[in-house]
Amino acid sequence: NAGVTQTPKFRILKIGQSMTLQCTQDMNHNYMYWYRQDPGMGLKLIYYSVGAGITDKGEVPNGYNVSRSTTEDFPLRLELAAPSQTSVYFCASKNDGTYVLSVANVLTFGAGSRLTVL
Amino acid sequence: QKEVEQNSGPLSVPEGAIASLNCTYSDRGSQSFFWYRQYSGKSPELIMFIYSNGDKEDGRFTAQLNKASQYVSLLIRDSQPSDSATYLCAVNPQYGNKLVFGAGTILRVKS
For chain B, positions 46-105, list CB contacts with chain A under 8 A.
46, 49, 51, 88, 92, 97-104
Cβ–Cβ gap B99/A99 under 8 Å: yes
- Rounded-to-integer distance, Cα B69 and Cα B41, Å: 33
- Bridge partners of residue B38, in order along the sequence: B86
Q: A95 falls in which pLDDT band (50, 70, 90)? A: confident
- Rounded-to-integer distance, Cα B47 and Cα B83, Å: 11
- Do B82 and B40 contact (CB within 8 A), yes or no? no
* Shortest Cα distance, chain A CAs vs residue B56, angstroms: 13
Average pLDDT score over residue span A19-47:
93
DSSP annotation of A30 reads S
For the ranges A46-50, A71-75, A103-107, which has the lowest average pLDDT? A103-107
Q: A5 falls in which pLDDT band (50, 70, 90)? A: very high
Q: A57 falls in which pLDDT band (50, 70, 90)? A: very high
The pLDDT of residue A97 is 57
Contacts of B45 in chain A (CB under 8 A): 109
The pLDDT of residue A1 is 64
CA B62 to chain centre: 10
From B50, B49, B44, select the one nearest B88 (Cα to Cα).
Answer: B44
Pairing of strands B71-76, B45-50: unpaired
pLDDT tops 90 at residue A16:
yes
The pLDDT of residue B89 is 96
Q: B1 falls in which pLDDT band (50, 70, 90)? A: low
Q: Does B2 touch chain A (CB under 8 A)?
A: no
Average pLDDT score over residue span A30-55:
93
Average pLDDT score over residue span A56-65:
95
Task: For chain A, give the mean pLDDT.
Answer: 91
Contacts of B101 (CB under 8 A, 6+ apart): A35, A42, A43, A44, B4, B36, B88, B89, B90
- Rounded-to-integer distance, Cα B83 and Cα B39, Å: 9
pLDDT tops 60 at residue A100:
no
| B38-95 pLDDT tens trace | 999 999 999 999 988 899 999 999 999 999 999 999 999 999 999 999 999 999 877 6
pLDDT, greater one: A58 or A99: A58
